[in-house]
Structure 1
Amino acid sequence: MTPTVAIAGGSLGGLTAALLLRDLGCDVSVHERATDTLQARGAGIAVLPHTLRYPVERLGIAADAISTSTEWIRFVRRNGSVDRALEHRYRFSAWNTIYRALLDAFDPRRYHLGAEVTAFEQGGDHVTVGFADGGESACDLLVCADGITSAARARLLPDVAPRYSGYVAWRATVPEAKLGRETYDALHDALTYQVLEHSHVLVYPIPGPDGEVEPGQRLINMVWYRNVPEPELAGFLTDRDGQRRPVSLPPGSVPDERVAAMREDVRELLAPQIADVALSADEPFVQAVFDIDVPRMAFGRTCLVGDAAFAVRPHAAAGTAKAAEDGWVLADRLAAAGGDVPAALASWESAQLALGADLLRRNREIGELSQFTGGFRAGDPRLIFGLYGPGR
């Protein structure tokens, strides 16, 4: 049996699941609510092997073609000197770079834009899926990969809501070519941290706007975590037009006075090489940091994957890896069950619940150390990125 599969959400997790289930022989369609091809979500991302697994193993794309690599982790002091350096290799990419690689491998006739899933009903051996335009379709398996603001999760688990961490991430990217030579030399080959009181900032190289991975043609990505009390969050996430945004202020939407205040703090607090990145960025933007804990991921013939299930803070760099792993394990369990969807999901759910719960715990622990308790220390082995544990 090869089930008919509908996937709600066409981002990295949804696309990975779609490709894996297609390879299994399933009849797969992806339904993305955006009306245009997705762009530039989150700028830079650290990529664990799980994130790159499909492009590398199934598409034969060299990891070096779609990601940068660094050989060092460096912690710097306020004056720019190196506090501690660890030899450790990481890979980084850009959301767009991975997305394009996956999208190019999927049949465009089965990737439907402007196709928001607004309802679904399970009836025996199928799921009836309803769309915003009034249309309907039936499938054997509905995979909900509709992200942190998941409408599917709200329908299936109405008591589950995102939990605000107490801090936001200021983000920016700058072309390496725009930076001074001293800054480039200090940053181009490393993941660089600066630890501040109740805060930390990290920078690393990512592919350029068109996927360039050659040193000098890449971007330098900055993420600076800063505490914003929950009562102030609504005001903080109000854009230059007065619109309240639920999660982030995209590039170009942050009010000028907020950007100016951030830059004043940059000059006062950040090491020179990191400050150069922050001050050179044309359009810094903001993402509030939330997480979500779910008690279930499987519901008969429907499941939640990626951020639609467990949304985790970014400190283990494993969000995209977890979404990809949800898809890999789902395909494996569906094959092992001979296409029996309820049996496959029952088997799949236990493993993915355990993975999500552990990852959520580890990220919360790192966030608390950094932003509130003051236990974030240079060289702490808990900070090593990993899906199944530090370095794993």
Structure 2
Amino acid sequence: MVVGGSIGGLTTALLLGRLGFDVEVFERTPTDLDGRGSGIVLHTETLRWFVECSDQHPETVSTATRFMQYLGPDNAVLYREPAPWSFTSWGTFHRALLADFGRDHYHLGECAAGFVQDPDGVEVQFASGRCERADLVVFADGIGSANRRHFSPEARLAYAGYVGWRGLVPERRLSAATFGLLHDAVTYCVAPNTHVPMYPIPSPEGGLAAGRRSMNYVWYRNVAEGDELDELMTDKHGVSVEVSLHPGQVQDRFIEEMRSAAAELLAPAVAEVVLRTEQPFLQAVYDVGARRMAAGRVALLGDAASTARPHPAAGTAKAAANAWALHDALAECADVTEALANWEPGQLELGQRLLHRAREMGARLQVDCTWVPGDPENKLGLYGEHD
């Protein structure tokens, strides 16, 4: 059983299926997941399912650029280097994984509320009243995992001191000059205590060619914890949330302030993309790390186990790496409990290394303002190298 039907959960389910498990996936969201247009930088681990196991080819779920660049005032190119990267949209990638897994064993609207286990299996109770038993249960239910407490009661979300404004704009809506400057690169715009990474991803309609894609970005802005953050993270209906506000939920007054600041602080091409975003959405940046990922026949995986700040662009890669390592551990050892015990140490270390790197990158960008373009310490990826 896999609890959580996102990218990490589906990758895990597919790989367990390869080992001969009958897999059921339970997702708490009652409707299909769509990722709200977020972009994903594709690393080897993320793409591995499509390279090795799927009839779908990586080129059908991704787009690519050839350069990494930094823009300054007046769109001056402060730094540029050849750096080929591939990207996808969250929705595009999730739909492709779900197409491979199928919907017959994918259950929406089921929130796992707890579990008990004995030497022979695990029983999971759902908020709906449903109760299911399995030989192995993997919790891949994201940053807000309610089940993390069973592994690490002390693990709590720690606010990073800043939020990420997100959005995407069809490339066809950009001016010719802006499209020409941005379409073939991962672009950074860095100013004191703020920065924006930006890159093209497949459009919601599936467009992959330059000019038919969407330009995706995250604009990080420092926001003090307390009243200032609480007000920002209160939606148009007065409901306060902790992690994210979806498109259409952010209060208009904050969107107006954000747009005004974009025109003042950002390179004109980057500001144009931000200003042309019809419905920007918002994510408060947190990190969290569990001290355990395995307990008997139960595993904790992906963001449910540890969530790093997004700067290395490696969250989905870590979840995929966890899933592949679990596959290998179970392939080598038929005893589930022993396999999970063998799997856990390396995956804990992987998560802690990524947490540490992401915090250091965030400090250089948002606090110390010591980020240097081209510094190898700033490379994207799960391991701090072009992977």
TM-score by length of 2: 0.98
Residue in 1 that maps onto 2:106: 111
- Determine whether 1:194 maps to 2:189: yes
State the SS of the aligned residue for 1:316.
coil
Pairing partner for 1:172 from 167, 178, 189: 167
Give yes or no for contact 1:78–1:194 (8 Å, CA) kept in 2: no
Matches of residues 84-163 of structure 1 in structure 2 within 5 Å? Answer: 84-163=79-158
State the SS of the aligned residue for 1:230.
coil
Could you tell me how far apart the structure 1 residues matched to 2:192 and 2:32 are? 40
Could you tell me how far apart the structure 2 residues matched to 1:42 and 1:365 are? 27
C-alpha deviation, 1:52, in angstroms: 1.2
Give yes or no for contact 2:37–2:168 (8 Å, CA) kept in 1: no
State the SS of the aligned residue for 1:85.
strand
Could you tell me how far apart the structure 1 residues matched to 2:114 and 2:18 are? 27
Pairing partner for 2:291 from 287, 290, 295: 295
Residue in 2 that maps onto 1:209: 204
Paired positions, count: 386
- Determine whether 1:341 maps to 2:344: no
Residue in 2 that maps onto 1:371: 366
- Determine whether 1:269 maps to 2:265: yes
Could you tell me how far apart the structure 1 residues matched to 2:76 and 2:178 are? 12
Could you tell me how far apart the structure 2 residues matched to 1:220 and 1:56 are? 25
Could you tell me how far apart the structure 2 residues matched to 1:217 and 1:230 are? 39
Matches of residues 300-311 of structure 1 in structure 2 within 5 Å? Answer: 300-311=296-307
State the SS of the aligned residue for 2:210.
coil
Could you tell me how far apart the structure 2 residues matched to 1:60 and 1:375 are? 45
State the SS of the aligned residue for 2:35.
coil
Q: Which amino acid aligns with 1:32?
A: E
Q: Which runs of 4+ in 1 moved over 4 A?
A: none
Q: Which amino acid aligns with 1:186?
A: L
Question: Is there any run of 5+ residues in structure 2 with no aligned partner, and where?
Answer: none
State the SS of the aligned residue for 1:292.
strand
Give yes or no for contact 1:195–1:378 (8 Å, CA) kept in 2: no
- Determine whether 1:319 maps to 2:315: yes
Residue in 1 that maps onto 2:357: 362
Could you tell me how far apart the structure 2 residues matched to 1:135 and 1:248 are? 28
C-alpha deviation, 1:50, in angstroms: 1.0
C-alpha deviation, 1:41, in angstroms: 4.2
Could you tell me how far apart the structure 2 residues matched to 1:107 and 1:82 are? 46
C-alpha deviation, 1:135, in angstroms: 1.8
Q: Which amino acid aligns with 1:233?
A: L
Could you tell me how far apart the structure 2 residues matched to 1:263 and 1:88 are? 30
Could you tell me how far apart the structure 1 residues matched to 2:204 and 2:80 are? 29
Deviation string 1:77-133 (CA, Å, 9 cap, x unpaired) is 121110010111111110001100000111311101112111100112111111112
C-alpha deviation, 1:32, in angstroms: 0.7
Closer/same/farther in 2, CA of residues 281 and 41 from structure 1, 3 Å limit: closer
Could you tell me how far apart the structure 1 residues matched to 2:109 and 2:266 are? 42
Higher alpha-carbon deviation: 323-332 or 46-55? 46-55
Residue in 1 that maps onto 2:249: 253
Give yes or no for contact 2:236–2:250 (8 Å, CA) kept in 1: yes
- Determine whether 1:228 maps to 2:228: no
C-alpha deviation, 1:299, in angstroms: 0.6
Give yes or no for contact 1:55–1:101 (8 Å, CA) kept in 2: no
Residue in 2 that maps onto 1:72: 67
Could you tell me how far apart the structure 2 residues matched to 1:292 and 1:145 are? 14
Deviation string 1:206-228 (CA, Å, 9 cap, x unpaired) is 00102210111100011111101
Give yes or no for contact 1:170–1:285 (8 Å, CA) kept in 2: yes
Give yes or no for contact 1:195–1:377 (8 Å, CA) kept in 2: no
Residue in 2 that maps onto 1:3: none
C-alpha deviation, 1:144, in angstroms: 0.2
State the SS of the aligned residue for 2:137.
strand
Could you tell me how far apart the structure 1 residues matched to 2:168 and 2:102 are? 31
Could you tell me how far apart the structure 2 residues matched to 1:19 and 1:184 are? 38
Residue in 2 that maps onto 1:54: 49
Q: Which amino acid aligns with 1:319?
A: G
Could you tell me how far apart the structure 1 residues matched to 2:102 and 2:249 are? 34
C-alpha deviation, 1:348, in angstroms: 0.4
Identity %: 46
State the SS of the aligned residue for 1:214.
coil
Deviation string 1:225-281 (CA, Å, 9 cap, x unpaired) is 110111122111011111101101111111111000001101111111101100111
The CA RMSD over aligned residues, in Å, is 1.1
C-alpha deviation, 1:42, in angstroms: 5.7
Could you tell me how far apart the structure 1 residues matched to 2:103 and 2:265 are? 47
Give yes or no for contact 1:306–1:320 (8 Å, CA) kept in 2: yes
Deviation string 1:49-70 (CA, Å, 9 cap, x unpaired) is 2111112221133322211111
Question: Is there any run of 5+ residues in structure 1 with no aligned partner, and where?
Answer: 1-5
Give yes or no for contact 2:329–2:339 (8 Å, CA) kept in 1: yes
C-alpha deviation, 1:330, in angstroms: 0.2
Q: Which amino acid aligns with 1:138?
A: R
